[in-house]
Amino acid sequence: MKKEKHILLMTTGGTIASRQGTEGLEPGGPKELEQEIANLSAYYDVRVRDIFCLDSSNIRPDEWQAIAAAVFEERGKCDGIVIAHGTDTMAYTASALTFMLPGIDIPVVFTGSQLPLSHMLSDGPDNLRTAFAMAASGIPGVFVAFDRKVMLGCRSVKVRASGFSAFESINTGYIARVTDRGLAIAEENLPVCAGPAALRPEISKNVFLLKLTPGLSPAIFEALAEMGYKGVVIEAFGLGGINVLNRGLHGIRRAVEMGISVVVTTQCLYDSANLRVYQVGNRLLDMGVIQGWDMTSEAAMTKLMWGIGQGMTPEEIKKLFEISLAGEITL
């Protein structure tokens, strides 16, 4: 069979490439994927590039930058890229890469597994195959492929700690599914992305994700400002509810006055926050708080980290959240 597509597999560690060590599963390298690479080579011209070897819990923004730089460097040399990655922080990495690689012009597909490839019943082979099929599709963007489904990287969330259907596409449909016709692409779910492709990896680490709880002290916002944070994503209640009694709003007002960008999303996994509905929300908007609408926390965090890292002012960041860069928000 003529192998028409050249697919690059980047390895970064994770369960998929892990082996049993004395202290439990530990990340291995491309060696753990050898058998599967041989199987995939029957269909594609496969090249492997080892980026690093980490449990994804240890992946930080520096590693996002390393992956983004490698993808940008390789994009003219292959038809698509598959990135084997741990599942725990895959949604963060996929979201971050979406913003770091605006207008990416090839498919970049993250995948991993819940059981190591060395296990006879691993979900890894299946996930890799779906990811390779997507990488060969010619559809540009950053995606997550898992359990026979493909979704936008910036809409994916890990929803199961151990179940095989570990990822969901939040507030938007799947980009593709494996069906009896092969990989069926849902064209209507593809976002409109403008090129040309660029590498913009600068990102700020000074963004905090705050899950609101009843009775949370408003002093937390001033404490975050003192610690040097430049952005806060608040996972508020329901449609965006925030406790306003007992000086609840005072801390947020002070934070905004101090130049901190505050984005409000909802701690509900599905549907959208909308601060316009309740009095408490409208008060926040009047203070300059930014609507995160239906973004995942991972996408809101990384978009804010990226905007600040790009040197945007709080005003520019507000505008950044009023546009969709790659389908991460429904406007």
* Window contacting ligand ASP (CB under 6 A); options: 40-48, 52-60, 228-236, 294-302: 52-60
14 touches ligand ASP (CB under 6 A): yes
Long-range CB contacts (< 8 A, 24+ apart) of 30-33? Answer: 32/116, 32/117, 32/118, 33/9, 33/84, 33/117, 33/128
CB 150, min distance to ligand ASP, A: 18
CB 265, min distance to ligand ASP, A: 23
Residue 40 sits at the vertex; the CA angle it makes with 191 and 45, to the nearest 5 degrees, is 80
15 touches ligand ASP (CB under 6 A): yes
Q: Is 268 exposed, middle or buried (0-12, 13-18, 19+ CB in 10 A)?
A: middle
**Residue located via tokens 């980047």:** 10
Nearer to ligand ASP, 57 or 179 (CB): 57
Nearer to ligand ASP, 110 or 174 (CB): 110
57 touches ligand ASP (CB under 6 A): yes
CB 42, min distance to ligand ASP, A: 26
CB 26, min distance to ligand ASP, A: 10
* Window contacting ligand ASP (CB under 6 A); options: 80-88, 144-152, 238-246, 275-283: 80-88
Residue 298 has, within 13 A of its CA and on its CB side, a CA count of 25
Nearest residue to 241 via CA among 307, 197, 289, 306: 289
- Please write down the HEC assignment for all residues of 46-71: EEEEEEEEECHHHCCHHHHHHHHHHH
* Window contacting ligand ASP (CB under 6 A); options: 42-50, 84-92, 218-226, 277-285: 84-92
- Please write down the HEC assignment for all residues of 266-294: ECCCCCCCCCCCCHHHHHHHHHCCEECCC
Nearer to ligand ASP, 56 or 261 (CB): 56
318 contacts 303 by C-beta, under 8 angstroms: no
Q: Which of 29, 45, 48, 55 binds ligand ASP (CB under 6 A)?
A: 55
Active site residue 330: no
CA dihedral 87, 93, 95, 96 (to 10 degrees): 170
Active site residue 265: no
Q: Which of 28, 61, 80, 86 binds ligand ASP (CB under 6 A)?
A: 86
Nearer to ligand ASP, 86 or 140 (CB): 86
112 touches ligand ASP (CB under 6 A): yes
Q: Where in the sequence numbering do the catalytic residues fall?
A: 15, 87-88, 158, 278
Interface positions with ligand ASP (CB under 6 A): 14-15, 55-57, 86-88, 112, 114
